[in-house]
Amino acid sequence: MNRIKSYIAVAALASMVACSSEKSWEVAPPPSEDKGEVVGNASVWVTSGSKGRLFQKLDDVDIYSASTSSGTSITVDFSEKYQSIDGYGAALTGSSAYMIKNGLSTAKRAELLTQLFDPNSGIGISYLRLTIGASDFSLSDFTYNDLSAGQTDPEMSQFSIAKDKEEVVPVLKEILEVNPDIKIMASPWSAPAWMKSNNSLGGGSLESEWYGAYALYLAKYIEAYASEGIHIDAITVQNEPLHETSGYPTMKMEAEEQLVFIRDYLGPLFEEHSLTTKVILYDHNFDRADYPITILEDADVRKYVAGSAFHAYAGSVGSMSQVHFAQPDMGLYFTEVSGGEWATDFGSNLQWMMTNIFIGTGKNWSKNALLWNLALNENHGPTNGGCQDCRGVVTIKSDQSVAYNEEYYALAHMSKFVRPGAERVKSTLQGGQGIEHIAFINEDGSKVLVLFNSNATTVNADVLVGENQFSVALEGASAVTLLWE
């Protein structure tokens, strides 16, 4: 990963966020008589930048049969729908799987997995990313077809996912027991060294003579996981294809190379093997929207591609909309960002993640939002080169206790309420500023509004939905999720 230790200048946002520990939640004033009769209620969940409330459920608010406001309001229009949602989650890296399997007792592991993946008693994570072979968060460098110098295996006769069966596969099977419907995306960091220009996992590029062999390698991966009862919903063709280093597995793949590889090798081979796994382009930073757009201009490659994926270590989230409006029939996915010791202020991190990643990517057409490591230890590892001070969604400590980090709370505000199959709908802010907002309707008809108040002080806001409305007090520098029928 090309780590830019900034959370995209998250430190610059710190001064914008007031996180007084003395501030308490202020209940919205009771509605006036002209708001009509009570016709329902909405549940309210809050995480404050001050840590005064951490994903805390408050008393329900009443919904009234009126639709007027003279102050700050958010109007939600469920008749205007946008993209469907695949889910929210993080990456089950080799390091994360190792910590979950070996850092916890059976009972504590079950407790953590329930908290993370159960949509009723936990936060209901619904999407995971895997690494195809090793990444910078694995126990060692490896692929599924490592050979001695000078050897080749174009038929993949020596292909094996034995390494993944040590931790990743067993943990995945336990997760599937908690949430059998979870979606899984997988991304390679490098092809086997014998296929590459430098005969190394670190850096280099895929030699064109091995395009067919590498396509078979990826197909074999999907089939091997299927034999374990694990369906891979999507793959990205290459993690961070414009970054290469010798320090951990990476592989350069320019847009033209990715186009040819998918169009002439991977796509036809998936068809031949009757694989329905989605193929997703790019999987790198916001700053190069031209990469996927260039590939999608080829009419022959489009039939094999489901969309494009982005990371947040450079550029701005609006690039996703640039790709959407260039290719509106293609999906968009957000697949990686990490917090770390370069940005340790809880309130600033919460604001950045909510406004840029969870609300920001959704409003820019993303079908998901995934963070990086699901779990790491107290030393930010185990690591395999690359980032040495990244933060997991949770931290598993040596005494088997678990710390739930700001990534967990930001993720929870989406994953528990916005379920796979939900559709984003129109929401509009009126009469105020500094309120980030995004709204959804789930397949079961339940409605969700996620807000972040970037102001330092409490804002009383009305939520207007058709002929009904309700009021909520948004504490300064806090995330709020509202759920109603």
Are 237 and 258 in contact by the 8 Å Cβ rule? The answer is yes
Q: In angstroms, rounded to a whole number, what is the distance separating the alpha carbons of residues 263 and 400?
A: 48
341 part of the active site:
no
Specify the length of the chain in residues.
Answer: 485
How far is CA 348 from its chain centroid? 19
DSSP letter for 421, please.
Answer: T
- CA nearest neighbour of 375 among 167, 145, 74, 230: 167
SS3 423: strand
| H or E element, residue 183 | strand 183-188
For residue 268, is the peptide bond before it cis, meaning its omega torsion is within 30 degrees of 0? Answer: no
Measured between alpha carbons, how far is residue 46 from residues 281, 318, 368, 461, 476 in Å?
Answer: 36, 27, 22, 15, 11
Q: In angstroms, rounded to a whole number, what is the distance separating the alpha carbons of residues 405 and 31?
A: 36
Task: Provide DSSP, 231-265.
Answer: ---EEES-SSTT---SSSS--B--HHHHHHHIIII
Backbone angle region of 315, left / alpha / beta, with phi > 0 → left and psi within -120 to 50 → alpha:
left
Catalytic residue among 167, 244, 336, 436: 336
Catalytic residue among 167, 240, 407, 475: 240
Q: In angstroms, rounded to a whole number, what is the distance separating the alpha carbons of residues 167 and 186?
A: 16
Q: In angstroms, rounded to a whole number, what is the distance separating the alpha carbons of residues 208 and 205?
A: 9
Residues 6+ positions from 466 with CB-CB distance below 8 Å: 67, 78
423 part of the active site:
no
Task: Provide DSSP, 430-457.
Answer: ES-SSEEEEEEE-TTS-EEEEEEE-SSS
Strand partners, 450: 438, 481
Residues 6+ positions from 430 with CB-CB distance below 8 Å: 69, 72, 73, 74, 75
DSSP letter for 280, please.
Answer: E
Q: Would you please indicate which residues are annotated as catalytic (active-site) residues?
A: 240, 336
